[in-house]
């Protein structure tokens, strides 16, 4: 049950649900391997990292949630890994089984763990059927999609059938950094790779994604879809005034629709109180949710970002639980109306 005592983490990832066996059986990225020193590592698109129990054992995450005081967590299919981009005949059944597992976790934890499913993007017919099953039969709130599909209108159009299917029962969609089917990772920067890729480039890409959605007709064409842009919309809360100035000076008859930014949802994953303060002023607390990016980051987002922020108590409550609660209630009403 969600109430005023809840703290809802709306951005975390989970590699369990059978994906460990699937990835161990692979020999090309993404895959799991055991090094000579006995450490298991995930060989991902841009390198490799130690694959600890935090990634695939939900009990470990639950224990850490309890210590931090987090009451609910949105566990997402590991979209950035690229599993959902693999050939459908190879991965569709594994993704379906993973989604079943997410639904089971929700039941076993009395709703403390909330699953955001994956879909096999290599086959649009199968992907559409799966998103309908996810919402109609499993009751999961939605799916995660690679944000590279939203870098432009042309690329977003590739997912039109999937968005139409998502709209049928209402669907929450997290737009998370990730490649498109058949797309190769870009060359690594010459230096300072972690900072350039995981901070500067990532934040810019999040802003590009939000821009595509608000400047397109997607919000009108798919009114039952809620789009979540990660990391507070990237750079948008900090450069929106420049964007407005560009429109005012170069397109005076077409002002930038800043108000449409408030029709998306955002999380504060891996960011802190100063960024949260700026985003609340631009986007509104009723559109912002907690996010940890667990297990990649392990900070408690409530203690790390919300508590020190110069926000009113009501704004803090909005970010901590009210925004997510209102979103889940909206999704369930849409689902029930379509059944």
The DSSP annotation for 215-281 comes to: HSSHHHH-TTEEEEESGGGTTHHHHHHHHHHHHHHH-TTS---GGGGGGSEEE-TT--HHHHHHHHH
- Share of residues in the chain with pLDDT > 90 (%): 98
Asked if the bond preceding 295 is cis, omega within 30° of 0, the reply is yes
Neighbours of 10 (CB within 10 A): 31
Alpha-carbon span 191 to 141, nearest angstrom = 40
Cα–Cα nearest to 229, from 199, 200, 203, 196? 203
Alpha-carbon span 170 to 168, nearest angstrom = 6
Asked if the bond preceding 30 is cis, omega within 30° of 0, the reply is yes
Look at residue 47 in the predicted model and tell me its pLDDT.
83
Residues near 300 by Cβ (< 8 Å), separated by ≥ 6? 68, 69, 70, 292
First to last CA, the chain: 23
Alpha-carbon span 182 to 51, nearest angstrom = 25
pLDDT in tens, 164-199: 999 999 999 999 999 999 999 999 999 999 999 999
CB neighbour burial string for 223-250, b if at least 16 within 10 angstroms, e if fewer: ebbbbbbbbbbbbbbbebeeeeeebeee
Order the strands of the 265-267 sheet from edge to edge: 8-13, 72-76, 113-117, 142-146, 171-176, 225-229, 265-267, 288-289
Helix (H, G, I), strand (E, B) or coil at 198: helix
CATH code of the domain made up of 8-338: 3.20.20.140
Look at residue 234 in the predicted model and tell me its pLDDT.
97
φ, ψ at 217 (rounded to 5°): -100, 10
Look at residue 45 in the predicted model and tell me its pLDDT.
81
Helix extents (H) in 8-142: 19-24, 53-56, 58-68, 88-108, 124-133
Residues 328/54/302/196 CA torsion (nearest 10 deg): -100
Look at residue 299 in the predicted model and tell me its pLDDT.
95
Q: Which residues of the chain have pLDDT under 50?
A: none
Look at residue 77 in the predicted model and tell me its pLDDT.
98
């Amino acid at each position: 049950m969600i109430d005023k005592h809840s703290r809802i983490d709306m951005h975390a990832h989970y590699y369990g649900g059978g994906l460990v066996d699937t990835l161990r059986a692979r020999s090309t990225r993404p895959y799991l391997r055991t090094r000579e020193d006995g450490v298991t590592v995930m060989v991902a698109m841009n390198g490799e990292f130690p694959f600890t129990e935090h990634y695939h054992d939900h009990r470990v995450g639950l224990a850490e949630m309890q210590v931090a005081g987090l009451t609910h967590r949105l566990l997402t299919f590991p979209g950035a890994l690229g599993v959902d981009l693999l050939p459908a005949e190879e991965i569709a059944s594994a993704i379906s089984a993973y989604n079943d597992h997410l639904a089971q976790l929700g039941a076993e934890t009395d709703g403390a763990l909330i699953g955001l499913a994956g879909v096999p993007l290599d086959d649009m017919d199968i992907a559409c059927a799966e998103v309908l099953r996810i919402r109609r039969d499993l009751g999961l709130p939605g799916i995660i999609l690679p944000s590279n599909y939203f870098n432009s209108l042309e690329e977003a159009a590739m997912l039109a059938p999937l968005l139409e299917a998502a709209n049928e029962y209402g669907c929450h969609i997290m737009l998370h950094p990730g490649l498109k089917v058949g797309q190769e990772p870009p060359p690594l920067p010459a230096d300072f790779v972690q900072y350039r890729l995981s901070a500067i480039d990532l934040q810019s890409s999040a802003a590009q994604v939000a821009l595509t959605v608000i400047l397109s007709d997607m919000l009108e064409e798919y009114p039952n879809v809620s789009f979540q842009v990660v990391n507070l919309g990237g750079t948008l809360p900090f450069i929106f005034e420049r964007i407005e100035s560009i429109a005012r000076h170069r397109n005076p008859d077409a002002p930038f629709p800043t108000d449409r930014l408030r029709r998306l949802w955002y999380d504060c994953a891996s960011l802190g109180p100063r960024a949260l303060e700026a985003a609340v002023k631009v986007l509104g607390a009723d559109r912002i949710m907690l996010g940890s990016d667990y297990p990649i980051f392990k900070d408690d987002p409530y203690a790390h970002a919300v508590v020190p922020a110069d926000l009113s108590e009501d704004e803090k409550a909005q970010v901590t639980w009210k925004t997510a609660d209102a979103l889940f209630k909206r999704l369930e009403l849409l689902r029930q109306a379509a059944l």
